[in-house]
Structure 1
Amino acid sequence: MYDQSKLSELIRFARVDAGSTVIDVYPGDGDWTRLFSDVVGPGGRVYSFVPAEVADFKNDPVGRMRTLAKEPGRENVEAVSADLVAMPEVTQPADVLWLHLFYHDLHTALIQKKGATAADFNRAVYERLKPGGSYVIVDHAAAAGSGTSDTQALHRIDPASVREEVEAAGFVLDAKSTMLANKDDAHSIKVFDPSIKGETDRFAYRFVKP
């Protein structure tokens, strides 16, 4: 995770407020789900959405999120799971959909094993967000001009490709942030390599549903 100042800035960037409904896609350890739960408060809702494509992982991601939802004070959290493009069927209309270090995976064999594509998912997000809602993507940057060619091998994606794909679904780019940029990242190393892990050059986009 990031230091407190960056966490606070990212939450502001995502426009998560008291009373918001947030969908946290592929929540991992649940750190963002917890943060959003605290911010939205009792009048808000957080869907911790585990794609069925990864539900069979050995660390039991669905079970972990169900356990999180039972923590004291987490009555506003609901753990849900379905095929990636069926996300609208297990959630309610949302103010914010949050995708942290996951968009590139939409172009990998693992996530596409049930037939889902990035275009399919972006359309599902558009369907689920309220008018004016925010689709927030933070991811590892690939080299400019590389498109989606490094998604499988390096777990990186060209920010320009993300923008093109999301806008094709009807979204409008509302804001972008360089708060997580790292000019010393050569974009040629896998994100899990110890020499760059946790320090990759990252971009943040906020798209809005008109």
Structure 2
Amino acid sequence: AAAAIPANIAAALSDPSRPAADMVRDEARHPGEVLAFAGVKPGAKVADLIPGGGYFTRIFSKAVGPKGKVYAYVPDELTKMAKREPAVNAIARDPAYANVTVILNTLPNFAAPEKLDLVFTAQNYHDMHDKFMGPADLSVVNRQVFKALKPGGVYMVIDHAAEAGSGLRYTEDLHRIDPAVVKSEVTAAGFIFEGESKVLRDPADPRKANVYDPSIRGKTDQFVYKFRKPASAR
């Protein structure tokens, strides 16, 4: 049986201010299980790193509640490529999401105004290795994430899995990354790998197609990795 979804997360998922288009995606994205695995509690301070359309930003906002805070961090490199205002700006302007603040800065400058309980990035880690992002030096980015977290804080990475042993070969053309690369890069920054949720795993995905290919879109094999900053770390 699936683990029970904590009340604050269940309430966030059914919140009437969520767009219907987001709710339709819940079946494939399993946000309840994902946030429960991350340990999102009321009052938490969360950074949604590369928030895209704000699907998770909205859920975090309601799950952490009025005493919590959500920082939607949009790298300048992405805004420059997209040539449009970040979608999360509209969320931050909405009174229903008063605890959301957008941060616009470069990826290597990742930081927040206060220490965080969680840094979360979904389907974006592979992008950080791509040309349009610099490419960024992930050892710098992951150290910045480490510094931004409270001792004992969580860094959660969800991404589309590439074939084992493929390294960074498919980050640009397939939008996938070898999970082993993520694990080695993040632990090199000082994090402890705490475990994986299999909720987005799909063994039927041959991991050879572009994630936007109609044959596989929305059904890719994704890994959900949870890393923790040691409680003794500063």
Q: Is the CA contact (8 Å cut-off) linking 2:130 and 2:172 kept in structure 1? A: yes
> How far 1:188 sits from its partner (Å)?
0.7
Tell me the residue number matched to 1:94: 116
Tell me the residue number matched to 2:152: 132
Indicate whether 1:81 and 2:104 are aligned: yes
Alignment of 1:44-63 (within 5 A): 44-56=68-80, 57-61=82-86
Distance in 1 of aligned mates of 2:193 and 2:56: 23
Alignment of 1:1-210 (within 5 A): 1-3=25-27, 6-56=30-80, 57-61=82-86, 64-88=87-111, 90-113=112-135, 116-210=136-230
Distance in 2 of aligned mates of 1:111 and 1:134: 24
> How far 1:97 sits from its partner (Å)?
0.3
> How far 1:107 sits from its partner (Å)?
1.1
Q: Deviations over 1:128-161 (max 9, x none)?
A: 0110000000000000111111111111011111
Cα distance change of structure 1 residues 94 and 120 upon mapping to structure 2, 3 Å threshold: same
SS in 1 for 2:131: coil
Distance in 1 of aligned mates of 2:39 and 2:28: 17
> How far 1:4 sits from its partner (Å)?
8.4
Distance in 1 of aligned mates of 2:61 and 2:110: 19
SS in 2 for 1:180: coil
TM-score, normalisation: structure 1: 0.93
SS in 2 for 1:162: helix
Q: CA RMSD in A?
A: 1.4
TM-score, normalisation: structure 2: 0.84
Moved over 4 A (4+): none
Distance in 1 of aligned mates of 2:29 and 2:224: 15
Distance in 1 of aligned mates of 2:209 and 2:53: 24
Q: How many residue pairs get matched? A: 205
Q: Is the CA contact (8 Å cut-off) linking 2:146 and 2:191 kept in structure 1? A: yes
Letter in 2 for 1:96: L
- Residue identity over aligned pairs, in percent, reads 41
SS in 2 for 1:205: strand
Unpaired runs of at least 5, structure 1: none
Distance in 2 of aligned mates of 1:47 and 1:76: 8
Cα distance change of structure 1 residues 130 and 60 upon mapping to structure 2, 3 Å threshold: same
